[in-house]
Amino acid sequence: MQEYLLDIAGKKIFVAETGEGPPVLLLHGGGPGASGISNYARNIAALAKEYRVIVPDLPGYGRSTKGIDGADPFGYLADAIRGVLDHLALDRAHLVGNSYGGACALRLALDTPDRVDRMVLMGPGGIGTTRALPTAGLNSLLNYYGGDGPSRLKLEKFIRNYLVFNAADVPDSTIDARYQASIDPEVVAAPPLRRPSGPNALRTLWKMDFTRDQRLSRLPVPTLVLWGSRDKVNRPSGGPMLADRMPNCDLYLAANTGHWVQFERAELFNRLCADFLAARR
């Protein structure tokens, strides 16, 4: 696997890539200690059999520059990933996004649909976020850096109780690695995912709710939405909301699966993702 740092508008974006074929960007979620390679550890090799798999660390995470624009976080992420496409001289690419990365992918597609071939979204953020109280899982995520600060116990509770359906499926080594990444001093000083606050908080929340964006009903990008039926972070009802609004959207609800579809149901995900991106029925 090739690894490198790109300079995108003065910020460093870490990228790993492997495989040959049509380009596919895998965009990770926003939980504490997340990174591209760790989020897609069970998927990269399988997809690389027929795709050029490009795995960035989103701004604020992993080996990329820390800190994001809290006034428009999804727009900031989308701009950075569009910059990755530009730097790699890719006019178009497939996007695969989990949770926070799903929100990044959807915002990029809404802003510049000509840059996206096909899109796979797994439990994406920003689906009706201002219309109901946050889930227990999302509260756990957002509270991680608050109170008495980050701890391995808090992270383990988030992952085992809320991120996945079967807690035993997550090895201790995964929690250990994510905990160490989550306590990077730069991350602690500027957590990349936090509750909007201040006088413009409501405006920020509206920007983060794609169901209020009229462009959604005109988005031509073929999209597959995968959602775990037992997702405790982003409500599974978001799946039908997207399918109802998007003109070219397929929906798959995975039984006995939490928020981390690509990890918990890797074999299913790899098959569905590869077939959908290749337009195979």
Question: Active-site residue 28, yes or no?
Answer: no
Let me know: does 117 contact 105? Beta carbons within 8 Å: no
Q: How many Cα atoms occupy the beta-carbon half-sphere of 82 within 13 Å?
A: 18
Tokens of 223: 């999209």
First to last CA, the chain: 30
Q: What CA–CA distance (Å, rounded) separates 208 from 158?
A: 22
Please report which residue ranges of 48-193 form alpha helices under DSSP H.
73-87, 100-111, 136-142, 152-157, 172-182, 185-189
Exposed / middle / buried, residue 171 (Cβ in 10 Å: 0-12, 13-18, 19+): exposed
Let me know: does 47 contact 53? Beta carbons within 8 Å: yes
Where b means 16+ CB within 10 Å and e means fewer, 196-215 reads: beeeeeeebbebbbbbebee
Q: What CA–CA distance (Å, rounded) separates 198 from 71?
A: 10
How far is residue 221 from each of residues 83, 101, 270, measured CA to CA in Å?
A: 20, 17, 20
Cα–Cα–Cα angle for 29, 173, 77, rounded to 5 degrees = 15
Q: What CA–CA distance (Å, rounded) separates 113 from 247?
A: 13
Given the residues 28, 87, 94, 259, select the one marked as catalytic. Answer: 259
> Which secondary structure element, helix H or strand E, spans residue 5, and what is its range?
strand 2-8
The catalytic residue positions are: 259
